[in-house]
């Protein structure tokens, strides 16, 4: 697949759809490599919300440092509604954009946790953003009927713009063996440290004002139903929002996954439909 050099993520997707309509979108199936010039890094303002490009630049550096860690995919995938595409089984971390303006971190495979963990500097409640649920189900494919996710209590940001810095700081702590739920970052030094790491192309642990002396607090695990042959959670943010229920097994399937005819997938349709598995019985 040809990659059009110089195009943004959204323009690249439009380019591939136009010129290669019968082929899968290649950019969705690869990690997003991003590099910032020194001038761009120095121009990051103190109260600036970090863009997907900046987050991807940080992810690119972390991938190069910690090559055995999975995920760290394109942080903008959900915002393009193209979705993640992974069968990851090993440990991995992913920065996810929720609500179009807030960055959080999800991870699995660290500290012996069997569930997907969420770190959200803006909200320590039990609520799990549906974008995080969808991303987790796409990255860590499950054979069962549900996926378990829990939010870990972590340091809260005291402003409305440092969520991206916190998400990268949490990721860096994890990859350096620190538990993000036990540390308290020195917020006055976080952004300068972030920019320095971008310039050095190497992420060292963010400055702390404690020595990991807090105990870990984990909110109750929540189970989310998985659907279809793709085993994904349902979400209005997903790439496949249209689902149809099989009239025999009562399971739900995405229109795209089981080649469901448009006349059946129409929300007003009353046509009974059998999934591929039931048709073979």
- Domain boundaries in the chain? 31-229, 243-279
CA-CA distance, 39 to 47, in Å (whole number)? 17
Question: For position 73, what pLDDT does the model report?
Answer: 86
Q: The tokens of 226 are what?
A: 């998985």
Q: How far is CA 83 from the centre of its chain?
A: 9
Residues 55-101 have pLDDT tens digits of 999 999 999 999 888 888 888 776 544 555 555 556 899 999 987 78
CB atoms within 10 A of CB 15: 17
| Nearest-10 crossing angle of helices 52-65, 163-175 | 10
Dihedrals phi, psi of 77, to nearest 5 degrees:
-55, -45
Nearest to 204 by CA among 185, 228, 220, 223: 185
**What integer best gives the mean pLDDT of the chain?**
84
Which of 37-41, 98-102, 259-263 shows the lowest mean pLDDT across its residues? 98-102
Question: Could you tell me which residues come within 8 angstroms of residue 145 by beta carbon, excluding any fewer than 6 positions away?
Answer: 225, 226
Question: Can you tell me the mean pLDDT for 43-62?
Answer: 93
Number of DSSP helices (H) and strands (E) in the chain, helices first: 8, 9
For residues 200 and 57, the answer to whether their CB atoms sit within 8 Å is no
Nearest to 66 by CA among 208, 207, 203: 203
| Nearest-10 crossing angle of helices 52-65, 187-200 | 70
Nearest to 203 by CA among 57, 51, 48, 70: 57
Residues 174-229 have pLDDT tens digits of 999 999 999 999 999 999 999 999 999 999 999 999 766 678 999 999 999 999 98
DSSP state of 177: T
CB atoms within 10 A of CB 22: 4
Q: For 31-229, CATH number?
A: 3.40.395.10
pTM here?
0.83
Residue 54 has pLDDT above 60, yes or no: yes
Residues 135-169 have pLDDT tens digits of 898 888 877 899 999 999 999 999 999 999 999 99
CA-CA distance, 98 to 116, in Å (whole number)? 16
């Amino acid at each position: 697949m040809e990659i059009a050099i110089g195009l943004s993520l959204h323009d690249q997707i439009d380019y591939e759809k136009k010129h290669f309509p019968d082929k899968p979108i290649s950019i969705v199936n690869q990690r997003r490599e991003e590099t910032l010039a020194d001038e761009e890094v120095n121009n990051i303002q103190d109260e600036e919300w970090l863009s997907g490009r900046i987050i991807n630049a940080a992810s690119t550096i972390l991938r190069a440092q910690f090559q055995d860690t999975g995920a760290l995919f394109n942080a903008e995938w959900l915002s393009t509604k193209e979705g993640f595409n992974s069968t990851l089984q090993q440990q991995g971390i992913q920065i996810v954009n929720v609500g179009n303006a807030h960055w959080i971190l999800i991870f699995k495979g660290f500290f012996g946790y069997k569930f997907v963990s969420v770190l959200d500097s803006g909200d320590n409640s039990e609520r799990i953003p549906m974008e995080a649920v969808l991303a987790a189900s796409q990255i860590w494919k499950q054979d069962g009927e549900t996926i378990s996710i829990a939010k870990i209590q972590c340091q809260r940001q005291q402003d409305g713009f440092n969520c991206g810095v916190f998400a990268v700081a949490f990721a860096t702590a994890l990859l350096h063996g620190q538990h993000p739920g036990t540390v308290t970052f020195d917020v006055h030094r976080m952004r300068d440290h972030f920019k320095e790491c971008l310039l050095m192309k190497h992420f060292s642990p963010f400055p702390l004002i404690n020595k990991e002396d807090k105990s870990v607090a984990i909110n109750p695990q929540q189970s989310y139903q998985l659907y279809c042959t793709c085993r994904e959670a349902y979400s209005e943010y997903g790439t496949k929002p249209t689902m149809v229920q099989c009239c025999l097994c009562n399971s739900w399937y995405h229109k795209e996954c089981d080649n469901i005819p448009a006349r059946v997938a129409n929300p007003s349709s009353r046509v009974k439909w059998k999934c591929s598995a039931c048709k073979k019985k």
